[in-house]
Amino acid sequence: MNSQLIEQLRLRLGANGLPYEIPMHPKLVHLTLGLFIIAILFDIAGAIFPIERPIFKFLGLTAIRSSFFDVGWYNLLGAAVVTFFTVGFGFFELLLANPPVNQKSDWGLNASWTMLLHGLGGVVLLGAIVAMTVWRGWQRYHSRQVQWSYLLVGMAMLGLLYVHGTLGGQLGGEFGIHVTAAKLIQEGINPNWLPK
């Protein structure tokens, strides 16, 4: 964002461009992705339960199909709640981003396109996760079955999340956005002077 606009916010920004040491968005992303991915995987495991039953028997692990669907449902619900915070912090940190403008990512995109796609994608994915939670909740309380169409959409979502997550990873890993050492190097300061 425009540096004069940022100044008007009167935030005490550190060397990483944020008012705190560690970006919050990537931390919350762990929760969104972990909960969402495991929710879909457990629903799939519930759907094909007869196939894996002998494996659990062999492992001596008591497994009930309905508890797999419970994991699918509650993990998804958790993901939906957490993702509001993930996207909220994401936008805050995106607005404070100050990436190099003369660089391209592994995917051939510059920083502005990567930020734009990752920001818009975040809103779309939040909407999709909430919609899937409503859909999943409806299935849970009306038919007690998880539909194959839901699982297929879930698998497609995993693909979208992979693309989206890689774009986000490139913002930190390639453009060095909110990476303290990258900022110091840019200013010609040795990152070895960072506190241990």
Contact residues: other proteins, CB under 8 A: 16, 21-23, 26-27, 29-31, 33-35, 37-38, 42, 61-62, 64, 67-68, 70-71, 74-75, 78, 100, 106, 165-166, 169-170, 172-176, 178-182, 185-186, 190-196
Q: How far is the CB of 8 from other proteins (least distance, A)?
A: 25
Q: How far is the CB of 85 from other proteins (least distance, A)?
A: 13
Query: Is residue 110 helix, strand or coil?
Result: strand
Phi and psi at residue 113, to the nearest 5°: -65, -40
**Could you write out the DSSP letters of every residue in 20-67?**
SSS-SHHHHHHHHHHHHHHHHHHHHHHHTHHHHHHHHHHHT----HHH
In angstroms, the CA 135 to CA 32 distance is 18
Q: How far is the CB of 73 from other proteins (least distance, A)?
A: 9
Eight-state DSSP code of residue 145: S
Q: How far is the CB of 43 from other proteins (least distance, A)?
A: 12
Query: Is residue 178 helix, strand or coil?
Result: coil
Nearer to other proteins, 51 or 61 (CB): 61
